[in-house]
Amino acid sequence: MNQPNELYSLLIPLREERLLVPRICIAEVIAFADAPERPPGEFPDWFVGTVEWSGRRVPVVTLDGDHGTGSEKRRGRRRIVIFHALTQKLAGRYYGVLTQGFPQLVRVNREVLTADGDYTPPADRPILCRVRMIHEFPVIPDFEGLEDMIAELPAL
C-alpha cells in the first residue's frame, strides 16, 4: 500500500510558538467569544475552563500559560481549537486548546520537515519535540500526555 507523501496539517499560533498538528485531529475552530467557564474548585494553571460546544461541555486548556485575561485587542484574535480525543481516557471525547489566532493550513512532507535535535521539550508541558519546517520551528504536542493531564482533572 502506498504511503501518502503529504499530510495536511495546521500551524496553530500560541503566544510564543506554534503547534503543528495533523488536520484530521481537529473537529472545529471556534471563536473565543467569552472566557471559558471555570468550575469551582482547585485546578491547575493550564486548565482554562469549559465551553459549550455541540451540546456538550468541553474542557479547554492552554499550552503556553495565557489564560484568557489579556486585552480586548488580543481577545479578538483568540480561538479555541476543538480536538478529537485520540485515546479513550476522556469521557467527552473532545477538548479545546486556547490559541492566539486562527490556525494556518499547511501541507507537510519529508522535504520540508526535519527534527530539531537542539530542542529539549519542557518537562511541565505535553510537547514531544520541535521540528524545522522551512523557516518555522513549530512544536509537536504529545496528545496522549495532554489527554492524560485532562483526564486527571477533578470532575467537571
Residue 55 cell numbers, joined? 451540546
| Residue that the C-alpha cell 485531529 belongs to | 25
| Range from 39-53, 54-68, 102-116 carrying the lowest mean pLDDT | 54-68
- The structural domains of the chain, ordered by start, are 7-110+143-151 (2.40.50.180)
* Whole-number Å distance between alpha carbons of 29 and 27: 7
Report yes or no: 89 and 146 within 8 Å, Cβ to Cβ: no
Residue 55 has pLDDT above 60, yes or no: yes
| pTM: predicted TM-score of the whole model, two decimal places | 0.87
Tens-digit pLDDT profile for residues 81-129: 999 999 999 988 999 999 999 999 999 988 888 888 889 888 888 999 9
How would you write 45-100 as a 3-class SS string?
A: CCEEEEEEECCEEEEEECCCCCCCCCCHHHHHHCEEEEEECCCCCCCCCEEEEEEC
Q: Say what the pLDDT of residue 71 is.
A: 42
pLDDT band of residue 65 (cuts 50, 70, 90) is low
